[in-house]
Structure 1
Amino acid sequence: MPSGSFFGKMETAGDEMKSNEEAIADIIKDVFSYIKYLFLSKEEKCAANLGLVNEKYWFQELMNNKPRLKDLLEKDMQFKEYFSSRKNVRKLLRDKDERAMFKKWIENK
């Protein structure tokens, strides 16, 4: 079997195809996850979104500083509405100003 640069490129192309196949599989998995999310109840959406926020350091610190916050999040309807919205949670996770507003909102409760 000849060993030239052409065959090396073929192996690289095969690796790229594998990466593309993995990427497509990941996209399909994400689409099905999103569809599954769409059919969750408000309580389940709230729990899933709260789980995303719970992973963040700033939220863990907030929970440690305000132990009553967990009860407030579970019982307050405004917080449930806020956390059942994917748009609100995504904005909270990436926007510094939104986090500051959220912290002020908690202070006022």
Structure 2
Amino acid sequence: PSLAERSAQALAAQGYAPHLRVGDGAAGWPEAAPFDAIIVSAAAAHVPRPLCEQLADGGRMVLPVGEHEGDQDLWIVSKSHGRLHFERNGGVRFVPLVSPVLDDPAQWAEEF
């Protein structure tokens, strides 16, 4: 079985029934959007626009931003009345988020 299948089995054995999806984390999950909360556990060089677009009004996203070999900061992105607000919340160190979405500057959040 795949990692996702094994994860689903392990979580089910503990009484959890999450919805799991295998895909590009920077692209998000548009079919299930909007989300009240998004947690990204790998550092992106830029805030991915698709994740911002999938954030519900009143929602928050927490993600590390910065180059793999350089400085990274933990950012809290919130959406209120359709506008994004960015708050830096200290230095961190995460593995890199690897995605073709991040190779396209048009897919970066402009406000950041």
TM-score by length of 1: 0.29
Q: Greater strand percent: which structure? A: 2
> Quick check: which has more Rg, 1 or 2?
1
